[in-house]
Chain A
């Protein structure tokens, strides 16, 4: 029994890291209806930025997070400029919803993600960069039969804060209302005075800030940062987003947790090298049986 409890705790903690990535991913999808394949690299860049800050200044974690938020916003704005805006030349409804539009930004964001990954590899090498022990967040905490780490609590706290903060921004601020309006009907928003281009830049800035923070937290949690680290979690976050119904942020978070727990418990039955199969299995099952996400018709957009 203790074994399962421990696996459950590990699963929740892994799921929480997927959720961190999925939130930003889903936000961008919900507004633009395009998949941002570079989100995993934003996560990696966030981790490297955090590492650089820590090795240079060794500030407290909060300061690192603030620096990474700034880097994330910067990267998000650049990403939108390079990979998305050039394909938004035509603003009529037919081109906004066209497959060509979706596929071209899919390719351009994928291309940019490859460039970012290779550039990081050239700059830092392909080996793991280890995080200074003092900056790591993996001090064990015993909770009855289960051992967790302070990193689990920090990640849980940050994820909760991100969700609440995002809901606040979306419901109570000018930018949030504009983001929701653009997500609902970009042309309608334009005609009532919403600067759609600027709103999309904001969306990328916010989504990428969340992605970058996820990267630094997970990097400091596992203690290893490398150029390729964004790929697998990016795929998991993508699966969580699809399972959650594509544009529902709460749905994606719940599914990310579910995914983490299932992966972790699966190691009780099969070798842990197979645990990645759980995510792909879920993806296939979802697409076949729940094409609108496992929460079905109640689709809530951003």
Chain B
């Protein structure tokens, strides 16, 4: 079943066409990588999907319904979770509170009802929060401030916050940026694990080795256009990709 369907998505900023008529699908349970050189339009594409930037043309469907034109928070509540290249955690809140914001948006207790009391929704929020924190191995530090966390752990905190939303689609924006080789390795295993657990993942990443090793399908963008879409091996051999992306990297 197609979960995410991008059709002819176009975004212009003045005279610049950041995303030019891009179409791509993500089926439920898939793990898809999006790669491309700097300025290829990867981040803009993600911003279009999550409703942060309005489309200039085309349409986006999620779970059967059109989502373009909806507000960012409403799209998130429909089941699109995402993390950021430059992290957007809540530094002055505890890890527990950080993650529970993800669960709150989805479950929605009454605005002034207590979250610490033993109501049904409050219990479910707490349960989801603990499950997500345990999933990323941060449960023991649940009550420390997020600001005191190391950079690597902040990434996992952000993933936990997205997981607490119980998203249908998880968008990871450059999760390996700033991590060393062994950390990247651990992260790859973690993402593979998430996918094995049934999560649909859309991954933007500069680290080619990571993308090629965990994604079954790779979409390549260059100058706002989609130039390839297929299995990692096929994409790697594609002359257009070699010219616009991989070739440049080898020379550099």
Contact = CB atoms under 8 A, between A and B. Distances in A.
A180 B92 contact: yes
- DSSP majority for the A interface? helix
Interface of A: 91-92, 169, 172-175, 177-178, 180-181, 183-185, 187-196, 202, 300-301
A174 B115 contact: yes
Contacts of B120: none
Which of B84, B102, B104 counts the most A-chain CB atoms under 10 A from its CB? B104
29 contacts: A91-B72, A92-B52, A172-B114, A172-B116, A173-B114, A174-B115, A177-B101, A178-B101, A178-B104, A180-B90, A180-B92, A180-B97, A181-B90, A183-B92, A184-B90, A184-B91, A185-B89, A185-B90, A188-B90, A189-B90, A190-B72, A190-B73, A191-B52, A192-B81, A193-B102, A194-B104, A194-B105, A195-B73, A196-B73
Contacts of A192: 76, 81, 101-102, 105, 161-162, 165
Interface residues of B, number: 35
- DSSP majority for the B interface? loop
A174 B76 contact: no
A191 B52 CA distance: 9
Contacts of B197: none
B101 A172 contact: no
B50 A191 contact: yes
Which of A180, A181, A183 counts the most B-chain CB atoms under 10 A from its CB? A181
B95 to A, nearest CB: 13
Nearest to B171: A191
B111 interface: yes
Given A174-B113, A180-B97, A181-B93, A187 B88 contact: yes
Contacts, number: 93
Interface string B152-165: 00000000011001
A187 B72 CA distance: 9
Interface string B76-90: 110001101000111
Contact of B112 (A173, A180, A183, A185): A173
A188 B91 CA distance: 11
A250 to B, nearest CB: 14
A191 B50 CA distance: 8
Contact of A181 (B77, B81, B101, B112): B101
A231 B84 CA distance: 44
Given A169-B112, A184-B89, A193-B76, 6 more contacts: A174-B115, A177-B115, A188-B89, A194-B73, A194-B101, A196-B73
Contacts of B111: 173-175, 202
Nearest to B79: A193
Interface in B42-78: 50, 52, 71-73, 76-77
